Structure 1
Amino acid sequence: MININMERIDNPFVHGVASGDPLEDQVVIWTRVTTPTPEPVEVNWKVASDSDLSQIIASGTAIAEANADYTVNVDVTGLEPATRYFYQFEALGQISPVGRTKTLPTNGVEHLRFAQVSCAKFNAGFFNAYSRIAARDDLDFLLHLGDYIYEASNKPPASQTPGADIGRPFEPAHECKTLEDYRQRYDQYHRDPDLQRLRASLPIIATLDDHEFADGAWRDGASEHKPERDGDWAKRRAIAFQVRWEWLPARKPDPANVQRVFRKVSLGGLADLMLIDTRTLRDEPVPPPAMFDPERSALGAEQRTWLLEQFDTSKAQWKLLANPSVMATTWSKDFPPSIKQALLKLKLIDVDGIRPDYDQWDGYPVERDLLLSHWRDNEIKNVVVLSGDVHIGLAIELKRDAFDPQEEPIAVEFVTGSLTSQNLDDKMGWERRTQSIPIEQEVMKAFPHIHWCDFDSHGYLVIDVTPAQVTAQWWAVDTLLRPSNTEALMSTWMVESGKPKLIPA
């Protein structure tokens, strides 16, 4: 059980407030009540148009119960589009902090701006990037591409990177496997002040990656899950889904299927945002030649059919694909030996140093080619893939054959660096933006579809969308090893409507 002390009893809202899954006329608001007794707790909520909460728009009462770990998700309806709102909860005679949220726009919108993040490893660093996002006043929402938590142990297996020695050990110290474990890990994350500031400042739209479950998760298992040691995978996966729904401010895409995550979010005709799940529905990752089996899928048949239909029927100016794992290839049979160590450290190639990393889209080449061919053959324009997972920043032009200079790009891909999860300088032990820079230059020569890369920085992307262009800004914090408010703009790239080619901005 999660420990309860007297300080928490005096403040039942120690995990803050949050909002998520905004639509044009509704948004989910969230809190958790820390209570000294097991009985259900009545929670009052209100939504206002002003930060003083004097102009109440909606209010009501919810019940925090043990079967949902005393979390409360309220789907507030009847709101106005593209409008900022403020909300608050009351329980056990105490009031929560005030949260700020925003609804999505309706048709005719000419501009959107949102942040894009992934890979928040608690024991690897302070969540300074979350704090910097929370301090901004120009964002419509946060797009989270997964690894929202890490289930890992403080003493991980050799295939994983240990955390930093900065006084942020995981709770529990062991790998999460049970309901109690996952709840304790989410509890720890949401006591973090930077994550609380982020969640209280803007709505979250999230998909997932593997660490919400277990490293290397797939449909029927995970690379680090051993049934004889860890128990039944289906039970563990169901527990992880349950706790994720408890702690995220989210609306289930299909209440009849609580393990479905994929969905479309319409952004006022300017863009359609398609969020996919490339982990829990996929076939087991396997090396070549088996990975070339045309029946193998990262999406699963149902999700793939749904996704193609979304692209075929979208009338939006831009089609944004929220894709947890990098889509472009990060492997070449001819890469120079001088970059091999970096590719291995970043897990961009297989541990044997020869084959592709078959845990990402490189391990599902036939299905990836199907998507790219579908966009090209059906003249589906203005596709922008938004990715995470690999912990590094990348600006990419997507082709069926990344190494064919005669082939025209089909789409572009913007990959965010990690929030805290280790990348090259962390793993090599050298200073940030020093020895990695010449390696990055060699990588871009060896992989001509990669137009820019940053193997060191931690932070977030800001995606700016207008009818004419989509622009990506890579922002980086100066350190993870202590709290810091310092950040810098590392690079800016854009793509113009109708022209799937990257332009430095």
Structure 2
Amino acid sequence: MALTRRAALTSGAFVAAACTASAAAAEQALFAHGVASGDPLTTQVIIWTRVSPRIPGTDVNVTWKVATDSALTHVIKRGSIKTGPSRDHTVKVDVTGLKPGTIYYYGFSVGTETSTIGRTQTAPATGGERLNIALVSCSNFPAGWFNAYQAIARRGDVDLVLHVGDYIYEYGPGEYATEWGKTVGRVPQPPKECTTLSDYRQRYAQYRTDADLQAAHACAPWMVTWDDHETSNDAYKDGAENHNPATEGPWNLRKAAALQAYYEWMPLRNPAPGKSFEAINRTFDWGDLATIVMLETRVMARTFQLDYETDLELGLFDVTSGQPVKITDPARLSGLDPRNLPQGVMALPDVAGFKAKKLNEPSREMLGVSQQAWLAEALTKSVKSGKKWQVLGNQVIMGRVTSPNFNAGLPPKVLEAVAKARPQTKAFFELSQFDVPFNLDAWDGYPAARERLYASAKEAGARLIVCTGDTHAAWANTLKDAGGEVRGVEFGGTSVTSPSIADTFANFGLEGAALNELITRANPEVEWHDETKRGYTLVSITPESVRGDFMELDTVKSKTFLVTKATSWETSYGPKPQGLVAV
């Protein structure tokens, strides 16, 4: 269907009206950032807003209420809360004493000024015939309009929005995917890379003035976790690729600032007393249907990412048989000069050595020991209590994705164009013939940690539904452990706006369909893959099956857009975990 901003804001009954958090709300000086709800339990839910005080820096008393009707006349809960500059004037209330499996409406006021009205719901205590989850990630403000959020808000059948990371991007103007934003007034604010608490707060404030994002927040409760860009690109426990301590200060200070702003601006519960801000991992039950487990795979325990350029060494190989054999005999090696090798000997990447000594090293962590134990316990508890499905809110791709042989699979003209413009990409293309992981920042960079997760799922008897973001591409993956047993399925959602590698390769004459085919054909776990579109994934869970509808937008560069279902993939409930089939 074709959607325009004007049509979306002027049509229909309450679900359309309340779920579009109209632009008029953004013009209110006091409640300019909309409302939100999240982390629904059976008898409680978080509600959120922010006030912009008339006198900056002052405390404000905010009244809130929850009702059973959209006009907020049948009020069942109300209260007041003081907010101020110490929490950036955000308001977060954990409303308790609600009924399970019930839809509620909520709003805020200061004096006579009122917020947008939001719609939320509590989780059912038992049963549960269907749960519709809108899976989103990677929403870069200057990279495009947030059309995916508007499409979600307009559906009217979304129970939960699951955002698995990169809700904001830390980059400043002129950095990643910011050029288009200059043409339409979507320039990152502050106009610099975010490194301080003030910076991150300003960035969230800018994002939350977007009417489409406000619409998606107002229409359903959210469950969220961060990925890397809420702090800095390719973050890990002790740093990030996009962090320079010499010029940007200690990593721990930047991380603490970023996470504080995240908890202020997002509708989730703060960590329990005694837990660190990094401990965002938590669980939710949805009746007897599912347990949703939100993971933390970035800043709490993740080991530093490997890098082919620095971690993959060259070895000397005998190639006389046609099959490279690494030379390990010390006597023979001592007689070889790498600068003048004899015929039949070549210097090649020692991929086997890289995998054995570094990649498969058991000490490499993604979750960490304590979170891994917590996850094993959560999966076991879920299965024993009769929950049908175990859903993981997960940041980076879990399925095995080996790089296709780009040198063999790409047209010569594309290879030539890449070689001239991007020497580093050309080097990776050369490496891709040696059976290496496509993305070392994903679970493929931590295979031992992935096997530990799979072992816990197997021992618990879990049926994993892994919901993932990060890659700006769509994936339907059947997940298998090292022994080849199916452990679950993965729905990898594309980005809301962030461009993919298909956009880069298009500049060199490669069509997206050809890239999709290369990656899919090279990977048995990948059932379907699309690098070319932005959008969201609707994950529909019933006792009998789980289906992923991959919803794609024709553009994020116009406010008039078309949303279509590209494909659907489904797994069925059975005695053992089942793979995905197209439906």
State the match for 2:166 in structure 1.
Answer: 147
State the match for 2:4 in structure 1.
Answer: none
| Preserved contact between residue 253 and residue 263 of structure 1 (Cα < 8 Å) | no
Once the two structures are superposed, the pairs formed by residues 285-434 of structure 1 within 5 Å of their partners are 285-287=305-307, 288=354, 289-315=357-383, 316-332=387-403, 337-338=408-409, 352-353=428-429, 354=431, 355-356=436-437, 357-376=439-458, 378=459, 380-401=461-482, 407-429=484-506
Pairwise CA RMSD of aligned residues?
Answer: 2.5
Letter in 2 for 1:450: V
| Preserved contact between residue 132 and residue 485 of structure 1 (Cα < 8 Å) | no
Letter in 1 for 2:481: R
| Preserved contact between residue 98 and residue 200 of structure 1 (Cα < 8 Å) | yes
Distance between the aligned counterparts of 1:503 and 1:379, measured in 2? 24
Structure 1 residues 9 and 66: CA distance shift in structure 2, 3 A: farther
Once the two structures are superposed, the pairs formed by residues 246-257 of structure 1 within 5 Å of their partners are 246-257=264-275
Q: Does 1:480 align with 2:571?
A: no
Bigger Rg, structure 1 or 2: 2
Distance between the aligned counterparts of 2:407 and 2:223, measured in 1? 39
Distance between the aligned counterparts of 2:26 and 2:485, measured in 1? 58
Distance between the aligned counterparts of 1:213 and 1:396, measured in 2? 28
Q: Does 1:453 align with 2:535?
A: no
The DSSP-based 3-state class of the residue aligned with 2:395 is strand
Once the two structures are superposed, the pairs formed by residues 213-224 of structure 1 within 5 Å of their partners are 213-224=231-242
| Preserved contact between residue 398 and residue 410 of structure 1 (Cα < 8 Å) | yes
| Preserved contact between residue 402 and residue 522 of structure 2 (Cα < 8 Å) | no
Quote the sequence identity (%): 37
Distance between the aligned counterparts of 1:172 and 1:10, measured in 2? 21
**Per-residue CA shift, 1:85-138, capped at 9, x if unaligned?**
111111153111111111111111121111111100111100000001011111
Structure 1 residues 15 and 8: CA distance shift in structure 2, 3 A: closer
Can you give the 5+ residue segments of structure 2 that lack an aligned partner in the other structure? 1-24, 308-353
Letter in 1 for 2:471: V
| Preserved contact between residue 339 and residue 443 of structure 1 (Cα < 8 Å) | no
| Preserved contact between residue 9 and residue 34 of structure 1 (Cα < 8 Å) | no
Q: Does 1:85 align with 2:92?
A: no
By how many angstroms is 1:56 displaced?
0.4
| Preserved contact between residue 404 and residue 519 of structure 2 (Cα < 8 Å) | no
By how many angstroms is 1:313 displaced?
2.4
Distance between the aligned counterparts of 2:282 and 2:544, measured in 1? 25
State the match for 1:128 in structure 2.
Answer: 147
**Per-residue CA shift, 1:325-363, capped at 9, x if unaligned?**
001122248666325989999xxx997343532211111
By how many angstroms is 1:374 displaced?
3.6
Q: Does 1:164 align with 2:164?
A: no
State the match for 2:90 in structure 1.
Answer: 71
Letter in 2 for 1:286: L
Identify, as 1 or 2, the structure richer in helix.
2
State the match for 1:4 in structure 2.
Answer: none
Letter in 2 for 1:304: Q
| Preserved contact between residue 9 and residue 35 of structure 1 (Cα < 8 Å) | no
Letter in 2 for 1:13: F
Letter in 2 for 1:135: R
**Per-residue CA shift, 1:266-298, capped at 9, x if unaligned?**
111211111101101211112444232211101
Distance between the aligned counterparts of 2:75 and 2:282, measured in 1? 31
| Preserved contact between residue 395 and residue 493 of structure 1 (Cα < 8 Å) | yes
Distance between the aligned counterparts of 1:112 and 1:336, measured in 2? 44
| Preserved contact between residue 538 and residue 548 of structure 2 (Cα < 8 Å) | yes
| Preserved contact between residue 126 and residue 481 of structure 1 (Cα < 8 Å) | yes
Moved more, 478-487 or 316-325: 478-487
**Per-residue CA shift, 1:49-97, capped at 9, x if unaligned?**
0011110010010111110000000111111111111111111531111
Letter in 1 for 2:30: P
Structure 1 residues 472 and 9: CA distance shift in structure 2, 3 A: closer
By how many angstroms is 1:169 displaced?
1.3
| TM-score relative to the length of structure 2 | 0.79
